[in-house]
Amino acid sequence: MINNADDCLIIVDVQNDFCSGGALEVPAGEEVVPVINQLVDKFAHRILTQDWHPVGHYSFASAHPGKSPFETVELDYGTQVLWPDHCIQGSDGAEFHPDLEIVGAELIIRKGFRLSIDSYSAFTENDQMTPTGLSGYLANRQFRRLFLTGLATDYCVFWSALDARRAGFEVVLIEDACRAIDMDGSKFRALDQMDAVGVVRVAATDL
Ligand code: VGL
Ligand code: ZN
């Protein structure tokens, strides 16, 4: 099924803060690590994304007096969920999971580094306007199909999948290589919306 020239494996935000014991743990987030490690050698090309926030980032509840994590706030670009402080630039929490096989990755794209804009998607920040540069890179590399893995299914993987479709890529979600935060049914909604825009869902064992 994998076509080496056209396909790129994208590993989204497999960082310590999104794994058990991390600042913004995704339930069983670290379970994606062995699944992804089994996949990396099947692809000729792999890239990583890394959530990479400055101290005091506007997506942190701590930056909004009186607010708690998982509440929302209105920012210039609309409603933003507030998170515990996480993936702070240079911190251990922002490092990739120590067991993740990252040596062969060709690009690490960092996102969420602008103080006042969050970026779930690896393509476009949450203002829906500011590009990360990834679509240009992938087009320049002449990839046509993107296989998405990582954390979290219903946030960064989801928004990346939608933007990838919008940018004209075929998108395959490797479902068991992802885990969700799953707040108020957000996982189900994300899968439903990905289906609606033509994201194909497979299991790692199908590849
Ligand atoms: C993410 C919330 C905040 C993610 C990143 O990687 O899904 N979620 N920052
Ligand atoms: Zn973040």
Q: Specify the 3-state DSSP secondary structure of 197.
A: coil
pLDDT given for residue 137 in this prediction:
98
Nearest CA to ligand 1 atom 2: 155
**pLDDT for 151:** 98
Ligand 1 atom with minimal separation from the 156 CA: 7
Query: What is the whole-number distance in angstroms between the Cα of residue 63 and the centre of ligand 2?
Result: 13
Strands 72-75 and 200-202: unpaired
Within 8 A by CB and 6+ apart from 161, the residues are 148, 171, 173, 194, 197, 199
Return the closest-CA partner of residue 56 out of 78, 22, 88.
Answer: 88
- Please name the helix (run of DSSP H) or strand (run of DSSP E) that holds residue 158, with its range, or none: helix 156-166
Position 11, amino acid: I
Per-residue model confidence (pLDDT) at position 182: 96
Q: Which two tokens stand for residue 62?
A: 């701590």
Ligand 2: distance of its center to the CA of 16 in Å? 12
Query: Are 169 and 138 within 8 A, CB to CB?
Result: yes
pLDDT at 1: 86
Q: For residue 143, what are the β-bridge partners?
A: none
Catalytic residues: 13, 111, 156
In which residue ranges of the chain is pLDDT below 70? none
Q: Which residues line ligand 1 (CB under 6 A)?
A: 13, 18, 51, 83, 120, 151-152, 155-156
Tokens of 133: 């540069």
Q: Which atom belonging to ligand 1 lies closest to the Cα atom of 59?
A: 3
Give the pLDDT score at 3: 87
Helix (H, G, I), strand (E, B) or coil at 203: coil
- CB atoms < 10 A from the CB of 185, how many? 10
Q: What is the pLDDT of residue 68?
A: 98
The pLDDT score that the predictor gives to residue 49 is 98
